[in-house]
A and B are shown apart, each in its own frame.
Chain A
Amino acid sequence: MRHLLSTTDLTREDALLILDTAAELARVTDRAVKKLPTLRGRTVVNLFFEDSTRTRISFEAAAKRLSADVITFSAKGSSVSKGESLKDTALTLEAMGADAVVVRHQASGAPYRLAHSGWVGCSVVNAGDGTHEHPTQALLDAFTLREHLGDLQGRRIVIVGDVLHSRVARSNAHLLSTLGACVTLVAPPTLLPVGVETWPCAVSYDLDEALEGADAVMMLRVQNERMNAAFFPSTHEYSRRYGLDTRRAALLSDDAVVLHPGPMNRGMEISADVADGARSVIVEQVTNGVSVRMAVLYLVLGARAEDQGGLLPAAEAVPA
C-alpha cells in the first residue's frame, strides 16, 4: 500500500491489516512512553488547503508518535492560502524531501492527482478531498465500531444525512460494506447522489424504519450552506424527519452505538442528550483517530522500498 486515496482501493484484507495494526498501536497510548521510533528520520508533510484543526492535529500526533519529522502547511499563514497551486506546493515539498504527504484539499481527486501526476514521488494519504472521500475517518469509524460490536460481518449500520456532499459517507459506505456490514443510507432524496443505487448499500427515506434494531447509527453533519439551497424546506423539518433524538435512539438494538464525525450541530441532526448519552462514542472516535492514522502512516511509509522495485529479492523470507 503505497498511498491511501480511497476506501474503494482497500480489500477486506488491507482494511483488516490497518485496523489490527491500529489496535496494537492503540495500546502504546496507554504506556508512559507514547512514542515509537519506527519512522525516525522520515518526513511527513501535512498539507492542508482546507482548514481542519481536528484532522490536522490527529495526523500530527500520529506522525510524531512514530518519531517522524512533521512539517505542516495549512490554509492560514502560508503560501497555500495565497493561491499557490497544488502542483507548485507539491514540488516544494518534494524538494524538502518529504517521504509522505497528508493532503486535505477542497477539490475532489486532488490527492489522487498528487499521487499519479508525477509531480512528487512520495506516498500520498488522503485527509479529505472535496466531496469525494475521507478514508482515515472511515477507518477510525470502523475501528470504533469494531471495539464495540466486534466483527462487523452482518452488522446493520445506518448512515444518516447529507450523503451527497459527504466524503465521510462515501468512505464509510464502501469500507463498512467491504468489512461485511449491511449499510443503509438515510437522507432526503435531494441529499442522495444520482446513482446511489449502484453503491453497496441500501437506501431509505424513513429513518424510524431504518433504525429499528440497527447496531449503529452515524449522523452526518448538515453544512450551513445546504440549509439555504433548497435541499430541504427548513431546518425544523429536517430535524423532525432526519434528526436523531432520544425516541429514535431507543429504536436501536440494545448494544448499539451512535457516531458523528463532528463537528456536530446539536439540536439539528442530533439532539444534545443523544450526543452526550451513553450510546455515544463520539469522544472515542477522536482518540481512535490517532491510532488509525499511525497505522496508515506506518503501512504506507513502510511500503516504499518494496514498491519502488525493492532492495531485496522479491521472495522475501517469511519467518518459518
Chain B
Amino acid sequence: MTSSPEPEGSQGPVARVLDAADISRVVGRISHEILERTNGPADVVLLGIQTRGVPFARRIAVRMGEIEGAEIPVGSLDITMYRDDIRLRGPRPLEPTEIPAGGLDDRIVVLVDDVLYSGRTVRAALDAISDVGRPRAVQLAVLVDRGHRELPIRADYVGKNLPTSLAQSVRVHLSETDDVDEVLVLGGGA
C-alpha cells in the first residue's frame, strides 16, 4: 500500500528513485532470491496485496516462470476488511481477492506489496491469509522499504531500501495501472 497522509499538492520537490529499467532489475533479482530461498518453485504461491502489489506479484510470477519453465500460482489479496483504521479513514471500495486454485494450505505464501511502511497493511494481510488457509510459511516481498515501522514486521525480499522522512511520501507507478514504471519520492529534501 502506498497510502500516505500528505494531501496531494503539498509535495515540493519530486525525485525519481527508480525508473522502468530499475524496476525490471528488481523483479529479476527478487525472482531469483525467492527461488533460492524456497528451494525451487514447487510450493510457492505469490499473493499481491491490492492495489499495486498485484501487478508487481504478477511480474515476479512471470519472471519466476520463465526461469523455471513452470507456471507459478499468483493471486491477489484485498485487505480492506482487515484494516484497523476504518473508523479513521472511512470505507473503501473492495478489490477482488483471488486465491489460486490450489489454495494456501501447506504452501509457502509470498506476500507481495509495492511499499513497506508502517507494517499495518502486512499485519492485516497476515490476518486475511489466516482466514483463507494455513500456509507452511509466509514471506514478504516489497518493491520499496521506506522504513518507519510501527509493528515488528520486516520484508524477506526488498527491491530498494529508501530512507525517507515522515514528511515525504512515496509514489509507485506501474504500467498496468499508471501507464509508466517509476518510483517517486515527494516532498521533504529528497
Measured CB to CB, the residues of A under 8 A from B are 17, 20-21, 24-25, 27, 31-33, 35-38, 66, 298-299, 301-306, 311-313, 315-320
Contacts and interface: CB of A to CB of B under 8 A. Distances in A.
Contact of A312 (B52, B89, B97, B133): B89
A33 to B, nearest CB: 4
Interface residues of B, number: 34
Interface stretch (B5-13, B21-29, B37-45, B158-166): B5-13
Given A315-B7, A320-B173, A36 B82 contact: yes
A320 B171 contact: yes
A300 B156 CA distance: 38
Contact of B7 (A303, A317, A319): A317
Given A36-B82, A320-B171, A305 B2 contact: no
Given A36-B81, A38-B82, A319-B2, A20 B93 contact: yes
Of B4, B52, B94, the most chain A CB neighbours within 10 A belong to: B94
Given A312-B5, A317-B3, A317-B5, A35 B131 contact: yes
> What are the nearest 9 A-B pairs in CB distance?
A302-B91, A315-B7, A320-B171, A24-B94, A33-B131, A306-B90, A38-B81, A36-B81, A302-B86
A55 B78 CA distance: 29
B1 A319 contact: yes
A300 B157 CA distance: 38
Main secondary structure of the interface of B (DSSP, over half): loop
Contacts of A38: 81-83, 86
Contacts of B8: 315, 317-318
B7 A313 contact: yes
A121 B169 CA distance: 36
Given A20-B94, A319-B52, A298 B89 contact: no
A66 B86 CA distance: 13
Contact of B90 (A27, A33, A302, A318): A302
6 contacts: A25-B94, A38-B81, A306-B90, A320-B2, A320-B171, A320-B172
B35 to A, nearest CB: 30
B176 interface: no
Interface in B62-110: 78, 81-83, 86-91, 93-97
A31 B93 contact: no
A31 B132 contact: yes
Contacts of A313: 5, 7
